[in-house]
Amino acid sequence: MPQLRIAAAQVNTRVGDLSGNADLIVEWTRKAAEQGAHLVVFPEMALTGYPVEDLALRESFTDASKAALASLATRLADSGCGALAVYVGYLDADEAGPRNAAAVLHEGRIAATQFKHHLPNYGVFDERRYYKPGQTLDIVQLHGVEIGMVICEDLWQDGGPITALGQTGVDLVVSPNASPYEKNKDDQRLPLVARRAAEAGAPLVYLNLIGGQDELVFDGDSIIVSADGSVVTRAPQFVEHLLITDMSFPGGRERTEGQVGEFTVRRVTLSADPVPTYEPLPLPPVAEPLPEEAEVWFALVTGLRDYVHKNGFRSVTFGMSGGIDSAVVAALAADALGGSAVYGVSMPSSYSSEHSKDDAADLAKRIGSHYEVQPIGAMVDVFVNQLGLNGLAEENVQARCRGVTLMGLSNQHGHLVLATGNKTELAVGYSTIYGDAVGGFAPIKDVPKTLVWQLARWRNAEAEKLGEIPPIPENSITKPPSAELRPGQLDTDSLPDYELLDDILDEYVESDRGRSDLLARGFSAEVIDKVLTMVDRAEYKRRQYPPGTKISLKAFGRDRRLPITSGWREG
């Protein structure tokens, strides 16, 4: 039976960085070659990064992508990796328009090219805006093994390219993906991949990107399954990883060419003779998906680290208030960048409690960050007195003087400002635009308040397990939340209890349920109307919020695209 050593390179690319991504592909192909692999698979659009958005519409960029692919083929051969079949996702373009494409590079040439068939255009995806769909299936024969390919969404289609590959006959299917992290998405992926392998009648290599890209985080979770759908190996989430597996192929399936359903099948032979029979490596371990809080935590850490580093920053600054939100942001930042890259600023006003300042200082010590105190009293006084402000206008000036302070320190010292707002307060508009909403990245923008507390407790417990100092002061977790913008103020003065609030938001925002559904679920009309009105009014503020870790789903954080000017009110 023909054998192949298959490598799946779960890497972290950067959008638009054609030369950096090419270097990465050469480096990981070399690693695969050193381990004797015959083919190596990279993620969807690995050469350009994903998603390139409107860059796909720039001819200079599509030209550069095509040129980079050709030169990558040469470089791989020059690096002694020419014998490997290297599957590389890239951006192509022809007379029909841009294409989401994957190529097989071999012996210095582009041996085959396939365009994505099914273009997702929902949630975080806008691919019909950019790409024209492909109609061909390019099947490559490598050492006597017939290898078909499907790109990401093509795998999710019932009766799609996988069915066609099953009909035309292949020994192996490889699938480059850029599948953004969603809470519990790993539970969906494995059954899907298993089912598709069975439909194709062939083992399937599912390879996904890792890393943060603006609002998205990719978690990896690459999987190799056998023809019967059983898991051969699975990669850990959120880390770069090379999965290497030996497989042998029974062969003997009937093979067709030409039209299969809506697809044109093209077959290319790279090498017909099987490799001499060899002893397979021991099976690699099957990584377990991370438990719930750990998965979310690493998604947030990954999104934050990549946003900072890929944008050329080395350090971050933000307001350390002593509250739970900024404490969790601080712990995330310390995990992502190291405590020495974190510059916490306490900005007390006359309404700030003594314990808040103590908790902030305690936090900085626990995570090993820099810490300074910049009271805002003198700044606030000038605005309030000169402009004659009171009430909400006075409260907002406090938050805005903090924003100006952080941006001043950022401009002077080069730190990226983080906004510390959570998803719940953003959803209901409980924040000050140009105030606490200031920042280039908002690490917990997609985390509801109740999950913020849950993550804090989980992170502290993890530290205790390892005998480390828990990063978050207990007091920040247990005290009742307050914006401290007027004497004795508590969040519960303006908002329902957070448990109740998050339950309603989950129904209304995440699940798109309406007022009558909420009533049917037993929430009171009074609290429903209060929350829905707050959410509808907050849309405008949310639009002005800086980009953050956008983790794209249900119960976790898909952003809505809603009109700002709207007469629609639920109910």
Question: Is residue 326 a known part of a binding site?
Answer: yes
Residue 512 to residues 54, 536, 555, 570, Cα–Cα distance (Å):
28, 13, 11, 11
Q: Is 44 a catalytic residue?
A: yes
Q: Are 110 and 86 in contact (CB under 8 A)?
A: no
Contact residue for a second copy among 28, 42, 61, 90 (CB under 8 A)? 61
Residues 336-375 that bind a second copy (CB under 8 A): 374
According to DSSP, the β-strands at 97-106 and 109-115 are: antiparallel
15 lies in the binding site for a second copy (CB under 8 A): yes
Measured CA to CA, the distance from residue 386 to residue 498 in angstroms comes to: 37
Taking CB under 8 A as the rule, which mask of x and - marks residues 32-51 in contact with a second copy?
A: -----------------x-x
Measured CA to CA, the distance from residue 250 to residue 203 in angstroms comes to: 11
Nearer to a second copy, 382 or 525 (CB): 382
In whole angstroms, the minimum distance from the beta carbon of 191 to a second copy comes to 25
Nearer to a second copy, 391 or 522 (CB): 391
Contact residue for a second copy among 140, 162, 364, 397 (CB under 8 A)? 397
Residues 108-147 that bind a second copy (CB under 8 A): 121-122, 126, 128-129
Contact residue for a second copy among 370, 547, 553, 554 (CB under 8 A)? 547
Contact residue for a second copy among 31, 83, 540, 554 (CB under 8 A)? 540
Nearer to a second copy, 522 or 567 (CB): 567
Sheet holding 342-346, edge to edge: 370-373, 342-346, 316-319, 416-417
Measured CA to CA, the distance from residue 372 to residue 457 in angstroms comes to: 26
**DSSP code, position 507:** I
> DSSP string of 118-152?
----STT--HHHH-PPP-EEEEEEETTEEEEE--G
Question: Is residue 187 a known part of a binding site?
Answer: no
C-alpha triplet 73, 75, 80: angle, nearest 5°: 100
Note the Cα 28 to chain centre separation in Å. Answer: 22
Q: Could you tell me which stretch among 102-110, 382-390, 418-426, 488-496 binds a second copy (CB under 8 A)?
A: 382-390
For the record, the structure tokens of 74 come out as: 């040469």
C-alpha triplet 236, 246, 287: angle, nearest 5°: 15
Measured CA to CA, the distance from residue 392 to residue 554 in angstroms comes to: 33
59 lies in the binding site for a second copy (CB under 8 A): yes
* Closest CA relative to residue 421, chosen from 434, 408, 409: 434
Question: Is residue 320 a known part of a binding site?
Answer: yes
For the record, the structure tokens of 248 come out as: 């042998």
In whole angstroms, the minimum distance from the beta carbon of 147 to a second copy comes to 31
**DSSP code, position 524:** -
Measured CA to CA, the distance from residue 396 to residue 384 in angstroms comes to: 10
In whole angstroms, the minimum distance from the beta carbon of 372 to a second copy comes to 10
Note the Cα 363 to chain centre separation in Å. Answer: 28
Nearer to a second copy, 231 or 382 (CB): 382
How many Cα atoms within 13 Å fall on the side-chain side of residue 534? 21
Contact residue for a second copy among 239, 268, 389, 527 (CB under 8 A)? 389
How many Cα atoms within 13 Å fall on the side-chain side of residue 265? 25
90 lies in the binding site for a second copy (CB under 8 A): no
* Closest CA relative to residue 444, chosen from 309, 558, 550: 550
In whole angstroms, the minimum distance from the beta carbon of 464 to a second copy comes to 35
Q: Which of 44, 146, 215, 484 is catalytic?
A: 44
Question: Is residue 31 a known part of a binding site?
Answer: no
In whole angstroms, the minimum distance from the beta carbon of 264 to a second copy comes to 22
Residue 11 to residues 100, 198, 300, Cα–Cα distance (Å):
18, 27, 18
Q: Which of 152, 199, 215, 507 is catalytic?
A: 152
Q: What kind and span of H or E run contains 216?
A: strand 216-219
Contact residue for a second copy among 158, 187, 254, 386 (CB under 8 A)? 386
- Ramachandran class of 393: left when φ > 0, alpha when ψ lies in -120 to 50, beta otherwise: alpha
387 lies in the binding site for a second copy (CB under 8 A): yes
Rounded to 5 degrees, what are φ and ψ at 492? -70, -10
Residues 151-210 that bind a second copy (CB under 8 A): none
Q: Is 240 a catalytic residue?
A: no
419 lies in the binding site for a second copy (CB under 8 A): no
Q: Is 152 a catalytic residue?
A: yes
Question: Is residue 534 a known part of a binding site?
Answer: no
In whole angstroms, the minimum distance from the beta carbon of 424 to a second copy comes to 20
For the record, the structure tokens of 237 come out as: 């989430």
Q: Are 251 and 3 in contact (CB under 8 A)?
A: no
* Closest CA relative to residue 506, chosen from 419, 427, 444: 427
95 lies in the binding site for a second copy (CB under 8 A): no
Nearer to a second copy, 62 or 233 (CB): 62
- Helix ranges, 112-242 (H): 127-130, 161-168, 185-200
Q: Are 145 and 121 in contact (CB under 8 A)?
A: no
Nearer to a second copy, 347 or 472 (CB): 347
Measured CA to CA, the distance from residue 128 to residue 119 in angstroms comes to: 6
Residues 439-478 that bind a second copy (CB under 8 A): 440
Question: Is residue 541 a known part of a binding site?
Answer: yes
In whole angstroms, the minimum distance from the beta carbon of 69 to a second copy comes to 15
Nearer to a second copy, 59 or 279 (CB): 59
Q: Could you tell me which stretch among 262-270, 459-467, 520-528, 555-563 binds a second copy (CB under 8 A)?
A: 555-563
217 lies in the binding site for a second copy (CB under 8 A): no
In whole angstroms, the minimum distance from the beta carbon of 245 to a second copy comes to 32
Q: Could you tell me which stretch among 147-155, 319-327, 398-406, 423-431 binds a second copy (CB under 8 A)?
A: 398-406
Question: Is residue 407 a known part of a binding site?
Answer: no
Q: Which of 66, 81, 116, 445 is catalytic?
A: 116
53 lies in the binding site for a second copy (CB under 8 A): yes
488 lies in the binding site for a second copy (CB under 8 A): no
Q: Are 299 and 307 in contact (CB under 8 A)?
A: no
In whole angstroms, the minimum distance from the beta carbon of 48 to a second copy comes to 8
In whole angstroms, the minimum distance from the beta carbon of 232 to a second copy comes to 34
Contact residue for a second copy among 283, 286, 382, 490 (CB under 8 A)? 382
Q: Pick out the residues of the known binding site for ATP.
A: 319-326, 420
Q: Pick out the residues of the known binding site for deamido-NAD(+).
A: 396, 425, 541
Active site residues: 44, 116, 152
